[in-house]
Amino acid sequence: MKYNPNEIEAKWQKYWAENQTFAASNNSVKPKHYVLDMFPYPSGAGLHVGHPLGYIASDVYSRYKRHQGFNVLHPMGYDSFGLPAEQYAIQTGQRPEDTTRVNIDGGFDKEGNQIAGYRKQLDKIGFSFDWSREVRTSNPDYYKHTQWIFIQLFNSWYNKNSDKAEDISTLVAIFEKEGNATVNAVCDDKIVPFSGSEWNAFSKEEQEKILLQYRLTYLAETEVNWCPGLGTVLANDEIVNGVSERGGFTVVRKKMTQWSMRISAYAERLLQGLNDIDWSESIKESQRNWIGKSIGAMVTFKVIAGDKSQEEKGIEVFTTRPDTIFGVTFMTLAPEHPLVQEITTTEYLDKVNDYIVASSKRSERERMADVKTISGVFTGAYAEHPFTKEPVPVWIGDYVLAGYGTGAVMAVPCGDERDYAFANFFKGQSGMLPIKNIFANVDISEVAYGSKDNVIIANSDFLDGLTYKEGTKKAIEALEKLNQGYGKINYRLRDAVFSRQRYWGEPFPVYYVNGLPQMIDAQHLPIVLPEVEKYLPTEDGLPPLGNALVWAWDTTTNKVVNTDLVDHKTIFPLELNTMPGWAGSSFYWMRYMDAHNEKEFASKEALAYWESVDLYIGGSEHATGHLLYSRFWNKFLKDKGFAPTEEPFKKLINQGMILGTSAFVYRVEGTNTFVSKNKIEGQNVQPIHADVSMVNSSDELDVEKFKAWREDYKDAEFICDENGKYIVGREVEKMSKSKYNVVTPDDICNEYGADTLRLYEMFLGPLEQAKPWNTAGISGVFGFLKKLCRLYFDEHNMIVTDEAPTKDNLKTLHKTIKKVADDIENFSFNTSVSQFMICVNELSTQGCHSRAILEPLAIVISPYAPHIGEELWSLLGNTGSIATVPFPVFEPKHLVESEKEYPVSFNGKMRFTIVLPLDLTKEQIEEIVMKDERTIKQLEGRTPNKVIIVPGKIINLVG
């Protein structure tokens, strides 16, 4: 019998599919375990060998938990809405729903290229996914629930007293009875107070406008990252070095009316929840930094413009150091701050406007990261210091962000490095005063003193002689007496912009009456994405849905109707924006629990059974995007009684990246001549990526294939080594199509089998670390599997016997059982593969073919190599799948040594060894050794002066 992976794997993949082997039940008596992968975005490029790394790890763990008797939910689906599909549709003239479907299911694109399809690729690797629960976020039967959750958010407010989201009707009841004076809510900053009688006298439109200031999802004018080239708003993590990650287009800051999510309401709960989950400290720290809790004070500086007092205008700043308020030398506003245009004097207006335009071209992330570039402009305006009443010059600078805090800072150069650098850069210019030092016995001639420790305040009137804590408390008390400040906890976390000016996303269940948003009743969901002729914005700049001919809401029939029927009486315009990519991925783990429920995203029974994800595996790039939004939505749904737990993911593991080994050819600059790596010294050459499929394991380039690869290389000349071979250069880089270093799992599976791929990826190194891919190493793993099979069958027949196992056989097996179980529990998958190799080598040396050893070994290896595990299990005469067979129990007694191989020495020189039971006394050992023929021969009739015996260690005869 020959190990034929293609035949074996096809057989068992078919068996699993037909028998629904991995379908999880929502009503099992078994304990539950929920293992989840971050679901993929289905691009046309398909999977490369780096993508399955986390999936293989989660699959090993899932299979192991099934062997342990758990009811395992291990689902898979597709995050199938998004900008890439839309951009591809624009470029190729295809419908994004068509390209997305082909990318998932396989087929042919518009050019006739065959697309493998994510589903076929995943199936080929032998994952134990419960495909009966598959979800696609772009399917209407999925996004109807995304729309429903949006409606719940719109109809909720955050009550600080109860510290949770509540129905908006409870807020309306308070307004009707007593107005908003006593309401303790997370809401807009500028709230006008009103009484109950005033509320009741407001028109319906006035009431709706006020409620928008409290709702958890709301419309507001917001500073956004606008990308004209893509015609949409981008999130910060979609921008790299000031340009869009997709396409490299310019991004500018712009004010737009957008839907936003009041995630800031959950800032403290998001922060505290990190203490209750088993995540890596680096991911937790990323989230803590993003949430950015700061304790300090809000201070108002009254504005003075020229000679005209504008006391009704105030600049609010949040500071973590109110104790340093007497060190304020100047103020800096973000270029986008609403007061800039109002307070800037005529003399400085042109400079200020030019600076605003220039800064709008830099993303927030770029502005935060760039600490070296110092820029700013004086506005000509001054603010009044709350205590000294002295004028404080007001500047604008792009190191201050409109969306963080108040968009303004009180600059204390003696205590802050960035303020210090700014003051020194503009030293001597109009509007820049000398730096004030308010720290006793601290030299600030060369650097600011930013520490809060060992600080004694000086030159600060009533704060003189106080420490940081004492000074902070007293400064806040004094500000409150002046009615110009108060103590406050601030968060860096800002409300999340929830609108995108694109087509391929979830439609909002929203129509507009007199410009105010109205929610479509949940019973009429989903509101399905309409057909459009083109996916670009309209000629007058509206989002792509502005091109839809059927996109209006009829409140009489409760249906979407032709746009030209809008009469603003019974038929109204629908929202033209769509939801962002993170909408559908913010609750998908709960949809898996009850994927076919048409009425709700999951039943209470299903949610109560599965509760939350026990193990979540995915990339660390989602640290502050997906993971933060997911936690926010989960907490909101918990508040409203829909989610059973506060946190969605108990344990999180980030897999590292598998890197590609790129190949480089070297072209002599200005020519079409390529020089072998060994010949490039002293030549002016340009390294160019070559497709790794043209290079063998010895780094030799197939020159003819390379010349046929591209038209411009057809007539290329090659300077090779003396042996006629062209050697490429190698470099480890990110695996990417653009670097031509992609290895597809399909190729590996076809040549070596999926079990080899799975074992090799786990063998490469610790799961969390990045590691380079080297196809040359995979043959060793393939050889190991063939050696494993030779324990079970030879060229013709099964050779497994019922003979009793030896002690060595049992020791090898139980050493492996213990090691593999410990490794899986600790996610140290690479060392398990090493142990498998040791085990098979030892059993081969021992000549072991005992069923008592080889049957449990098939179970132990099956989480890693499930196809061969199933095949061996079947060949051993078992029926059904190996998938739920109990994992072998480790028996420590088989690892307890009962014998010892002693070195026997004469005058310190080892002459031979002897195997003796470990429970012998010194006297018994001595008696056996002295009677041994080898001892008698060594002594030649002499009697040793001393016999030294240390039981379990040494035997030494002296003299």
Tell me the per-residue pLDDT of 407-417, one tens digit each, with 9 for 90 and over: 999 999 999 99
3-state secondary structure of 286: helix
CA nearest 514: which of 204, 726, 936, 864? 204
The contacts of residue 486 (CB under 8 Å, 6+ apart) are 297, 298, 476, 479, 480
Rounded CA separation 417/407 (Å) = 18
Rounded CA separation 336/350 (Å) = 15
Rounded CA separation 301/12 (Å) = 73
Task: Say how far residue 831 (Cα) sits from the centre of its chain.
Answer: 26
767 and 655 in contact (C-beta within 8 Å)?
yes
Rounded CA separation 158/166 (Å) = 6
Read off the tokens for 173. 């009841």
Give whole-number Cα distances, 523 to 418, 587, 937, in Å: 55, 20, 98
Using one digit for the tens of pLDDT, what is the confidence trace for 894-950? 998 878 899 999 999 999 999 998 889 999 999 999 999 999 999 988 999 999 999
User: Among 37-46, 121-130, 298-307, 793-802, whose mean pLDDT is lowest?
Assistant: 298-307
Comparing 85 with 630, the larger pLDDT belongs to 630
Comparing 120 with 533, the larger pLDDT belongs to 120
pLDDT at site 308: 44
Read off the tokens for 716. 């290329």
299 and 322 in contact (C-beta within 8 Å)?
yes
Rounded CA separation 32/611 (Å) = 9
CA nearest 918: which of 807, 806, 804? 807
Report residue 307's pLDDT band, with 50, 70 and 90 as the boundaries.
very low
Q: Are strands 729-734 and 909-917 parallel, antiparallel or unpaired?
A: unpaired
577: β partners: none
CA nearest 315: which of 354, 344, 358? 344
Q: For the chain, give the percent of residues with pLDDT over 70.
A: 99
Give whole-number Cα distances, 289 to 293, 492, 628, 673, in Å: 8, 8, 12, 52
The contacts of residue 261 (CB under 8 Å, 6+ apart) are 153, 216, 217, 495, 496, 498, 632
Read off the tokens for 621. 């790039």
The contacts of residue 119 (CB under 8 Å, 6+ apart) are 104, 105, 106
Q: Position of tokens 């006008």?
A: 192
Give whole-number Cα distances, 434 to 322, 325, 328, 425, 437, in Å: 20, 15, 11, 12, 10
Task: Give the 3-state secondary structure percentages of the chain, helix then strand then coil, rounded to 5.
Answer: 40, 20, 40
Rounded CA separation 251/365 (Å) = 12
Read off the tokens for 276. 């209750």
Comparing 250 with 204, the larger pLDDT belongs to 204
260: β partners: 218, 497
Rounded CA separation 527/576 (Å) = 12
- In this prediction, residues 480-489 reach a mean pLDDT of 95
Residue 851: exposure state from Cβ atoms within 10 A (0-12, 13-18, ≥19): middle
Using one digit for the tens of pLDDT, what is the confidence trace for 595-623? 999 999 999 999 999 999 999 999 988 88
pLDDT at site 414: 96
CB neighbours (10 Å) of residue 389?
A: 8
653 and 767 in contact (C-beta within 8 Å)?
yes
CA nearest 51: which of 892, 937, 881, 761? 761
pLDDT at site 305: 60
The yes-or-no verdict on residue 753 having pLDDT over 50 is yes
pLDDT at site 241: 72
Read off the tokens for 800. 């497994």
Read off the tokens for 658. 């598998």
pLDDT at site 627: 96
For residue 552, the surrounding DSSP H or E stretch is strand 552-554
299: β partners: 317, 485
CA nearest 230: which of 213, 247, 209? 247
Q: Tell me the residue ranges of DSSP E strands in 761-845.
A: 771-772
3-state secondary structure of 433: coil
Buried b (16+ CB within 10 A) or exposed e, 805-819: beeebbbbbbbbbbb
Using one digit for the tens of pLDDT, what is the confidence trace for 168-213? 999 999 999 999 999 999 999 889 999 999 999 999 999 999 999 9
Q: How many residues does the chain have?
A: 959
Residue 184: exposure state from Cβ atoms within 10 A (0-12, 13-18, ≥19): exposed
The yes-or-no verdict on residue 373 having pLDDT over 50 is yes
Give whole-number Cα distances, 9 to 125, 231, 326, 795, 926, in Å: 9, 47, 75, 20, 59
The yes-or-no verdict on residue 237 having pLDDT over 80 is no
- In this prediction, residues 624-631 reach a mean pLDDT of 94
CB neighbours (10 Å) of residue 596?
A: 8
Report residue 306's pLDDT band, with 50, 70 and 90 as the boundaries.
low
pLDDT at site 601: 97
| Chain mean pLDDT for the chain | 93
Report if pTM > 0.85. yes
Q: Are strands 613-618 and 32-37 parallel, antiparallel or unpaired?
A: parallel
Residue 724, phi then psi, degrees to nearest 5:
85, 10
Q: Position of tokens 């105030």?
A: 314
* Number of alpha carbons in the 13 Å side-chain half-sphere of residue 175: 20
The yes-or-no verdict on residue 244 having pLDDT over 90 is no
Residue 295: exposure state from Cβ atoms within 10 A (0-12, 13-18, ≥19): exposed
Residue 15: exposure state from Cβ atoms within 10 A (0-12, 13-18, ≥19): middle
Rounded CA separation 818/838 (Å) = 14
Read off the tokens for 11. 């057989």
pLDDT at site 950: 93
CA dihedral 18, 22, 26, 27 (to 10 degrees): 80
Rounded CA separation 130/62 (Å) = 11
Rounded CA separation 457/594 (Å) = 61
The contacts of residue 180 (CB under 8 Å, 6+ apart) are 174, 191, 193, 194, 199
